Structure 1
Amino acid sequence: MALGMFSFLALCIFYIQVPQGQTGCAEVDSMTEAVAGKGFLLGCISCKRREEVPASAIVDWHFKAAGTEEFIQIFQYEYNNPTILHENFEGRLEWQGTMWTKDVQIGAIFIHNVTYNDTGTYLCTFHRTLYLPLYEEHVVINKEVELTVVEKANPELTAVISEIMMYVLIAVLQLWMIGVLIYCYRKIYAENEAREAKKAACSQNKLVESKDPCDGIYLE
């Protein structure tokens, strides 16, 4: 019995540690402060609400410089076809979103060699098509990022945010581990109780033949 309990706990721990084939999707806001001369990731995530529905998406990025009123299109991504659409960003934009499927949910782009002229509003637009059984549904999702370019990063703010996120992550992982171990323990305990009850019933009724309902239960 001890060996069985050990094996079950090992399986639980393995399940926790091994990444699952289908990861979850969380809509996290983009950072908004870039350092001149450095690279910067413009984040944009749009999670599909019904994972079981097949879909495809095209992602457009527009930019409105500080002090101006109109957006200009600077980038478009369609499955395996990233395209830079404005000369000011030529050679500086790199697709960092979903690449292995047409069902795009991460639409991030990376700006190389950020300049002060990159300060402004960035508009990320998902044009998603949902392939439902009887028809196709077209959905448009817009997300804005207000980007500020500074000479140097604020180390104090960065350190505080990093430390907070580290403690939050540690706490969440610990609670998750405790919850899974409690679940595993309860399941093992319930199985053991059921087995002991069956052994007691077999002992009481003296059912020891190999073909009776107690087959495989060894009495101590």
Structure 2
Amino acid sequence: MMCHFLLFVFSLFVSSCHAGCSEVESLTEAVATKGFLLGCISCKRREEVPAQATIDWHFKPLGEEEFRHIFHYDHPSAAILHEDFSGRLEWHGTLNSDIQIGSVYIDSVTFNDTGTYRCTFHRTLFLPSSDEHIIVEKEVELSVVAVANRELTAVISEIMMYVLIVVLQLWLIGVLFYCYKKISDEQEAREARQALKAQAALLESKDNCDGVQLE
């Protein structure tokens, strides 16, 4: 799952550089028995304001009405709160108390993991006048499949790649043909100039010979 890996790398990059924070949506399709990154990003509006946050993850299985509290993170402590996820959740978010990335990684996904995941930021902004408390919630509708489906963007990218290869090959053939024709024309012109010079030299030599005879 290349997309999962790229999202994870992006999350690590953003966690090390808050100035580059961007609220990328989580992927929503996991493959059974594989790992999956539940993405959750909430950027501060003003980077210069110090803050701290805690993260809570809740899960509502498909067909049920109630959410289950499954994970809590308060830097540097992480706690798995439901037995169904025991030993399967890992913190992949910001590694300090000013959390902007609250992503968690699910190991060995099962079909029972299908459902709605809710990520909640409890953030405190330390302002000069008074502290401000903010709650941000994001939800991810996760479906679990037996085999990964090829994403439309991946198919389009592959088609565009082949089209680009064909276009570049045609362009290269055109350039080679142009260069060959140009070299050939220059060679013919050079030969024509040499022939004219030889003809001119021959005429000059003949004129000289005629002048000698006349004397």
Name the CA shift for 1:50/1:149 in 2 (closer, same or farther; >3 Å).
Answer: same
The RMSD of aligned alpha carbons is: 2.0
1:142 aligns with 2:175: no
Aligned to 2:105: 110
Q: Distance in 1 between matches of 2:41 and 2:17?
A: 19
Name the % identity.
66
Give unpaired runs (5+ residues) of structure 2: 1-15, 162-215
**Correspondent of 1:53 among 44, 49, 64:** 49
Runs of 4 or more consecutive aligned structure 1 residues displaced over 2 Å after TM superposition: 20-23, 155-164
SS at structure 1 position matched to 2:64: coil
Quote how far apart the aligned CAs of 1:55 are: 0.1
Aligned to 1:67: 63
Aligned to 2:120: 125
TM-score normalised by the chain length of structure 2: 0.64
Name the CA shift for 1:142/1:78 in 2 (closer, same or farther; >3 Å).
Answer: same
Q: Distance in 2 between matches of 1:22 and 1:45?
A: 11
Q: Distance in 1 between matches of 2:125 and 2:40?
A: 19
Q: Distance in 2 between matches of 1:40 and 1:160?
A: 21
Quote how far apart the aligned CAs of 1:134 are: 1.6
Aligned to 1:98: 94
**Correspondent of 1:85 among 60, 63, 81:** 81
TM-score normalised by the chain length of structure 1: 0.62
Q: Distance in 1 between matches of 2:22 and 2:83?
A: 33
Quote how far apart the aligned CAs of 1:157 are: 3.4
Q: Distance in 2 between matches of 1:146 and 1:27?
A: 17
Name the CA shift for 1:31/1:156 in 2 (closer, same or farther; >3 Å).
Answer: closer
Q: Distance in 1 between matches of 2:40 and 2:142?
A: 13
Quote how far apart the aligned CAs of 1:162 are: 6.1
Number of matched residues?
145
Q: Distance in 1 between matches of 2:29 and 2:17?
A: 33
SS at structure 2 position matched to 1:155: coil
Larger Rg computed on CA atoms: 2
What does 1:1-220 align with in structure 2 at a 5 Å threshold? 23-99=19-95, 101-155=96-150, 157=152, 159-160=154-155
Give unpaired runs (5+ residues) of structure 1: 1-19, 167-220
SS at structure 2 position matched to 1:30: coil
